[in-house]
Amino acid sequence: MSLQRVLVTGAAGNLGRLMRPRLARPDRILRLLDLAPLDPPAPGEQVETVTGSLTDPEIMAAACADVDAIIHLGGLSREDEWSRILAVNIDGTHTVLEAARAAGVPRIVLASSNHAVGYRKVGEAGADGLPGESTPRPDTYYGVSKATLEALGSLYHERFGMDVSCVRIGSCFEKPADVRQLSLWMSPDDCARLLEACLATETPGYRVMWGVSANTRAVVSLREAQEIGYVSHDDAEYFADQVPPGELPEYIGGAFLETPLGQAN
């Protein structure tokens, strides 16, 4: 049996911890990288751990050795000072892509965000929902970094033939927490299904897609994700009676539009 090695950046974070058991397979080694401490491998778990910064070219060169694919989740996951967003999310993503290119890693999945298009109006695309490839309308410096991540991914696909999937994640947590997430939630199991589809799709390609579940109150399109074989099994509506009453925001980015620019929260 030939083993596939997948490098996951940001593996100690919320999504990384949710994905670690879900992406485990007998024919796969997960190489987990984070600045923050990672849980040591459990008995029988096929993982390697790397403690270090994705902004460090030497760390990333070593982390990319013998890797078949990268899932890039690491970085700042909300608004922050411009200098930090620039260093970690923009320069950091460039460092990850450059290390991948130099090591000959053929495939990368980039965690983008709904905040790349946070200033797009809910409903502006009609009943089909906002398409995955709608052009950026970021709502924060953080959103700008995700639009830039998508642009860097496009460049590395075009120049070097790498397979690049950018996933505009809605809200991926154990359960939806509010009315907005009843539209934008992606269940952890669906997130793993979508990542598996990105890892398995034919190469080489470049695609931007929404990462959400098949929510009854959907406002974005699953077309691009379905085109690579994603089948959602979940719907935030199961939890509708558990979220506080509220209104769906007018814009995709919700409360991020009120976040002062450059202010960590």
Q: Which residues are catalytic?
A: 142
38 binds, among ligand 15L, ligand NAI, none (CB under 5 to 8 A by kind): none
- Sheet with 163-169, strands from edge to edge, namely 47-51, 28-34, 4-9, 69-72, 107-113, 163-169, 206-211
Q: Which of 6, 35, 122, 222: binder of ligand NAI (CB under 6 A)? A: 35
CB of 26 to ligand NAI, least distance (A): 25
Q: What are the DSSP E strand ranges found in 35-77?
A: 47-51, 69-72
CA distances from 140 to 8, 79, 85 (A): 25, 7, 10
Give me the amino acid identity at 157. Answer: H
CB of 45 to ligand NAI, least distance (A): 18
What gap in Å lies between CA 265 and CA 145, rounded to an integer? 16
Phi then psi for 8, rounded to 5 degrees? -115, 115
Binding to ligand 15L by residue 107, rule CB under 6 A?
A: no
Q: Which of 89, 114, 140, 183: binder of ligand 15L (CB under 6 A)? A: 114
Choose the binding region for ligand NAI from 63-71, 118-126, 165-173, 251-259 (rule: CB under 6 A).
165-173
Choose the binding region for ligand NAI from 29-37, 40-48, 121-129, 132-140 (rule: CB under 6 A).
29-37
What gap in Å lies between CA 89 and CA 163, rounded to an integer? 20
**Beta carbon nearer to ligand NAI, 156 or 159:** 156
Q: Which of 4, 49, 77, 226: binder of ligand 15L (CB under 6 A)? A: 77
Binding to ligand 15L by residue 175, rule CB under 6 A?
A: no
Q: Which residues bind ligand 15L (CB under 6 A)?
A: 77-78, 113-115, 171
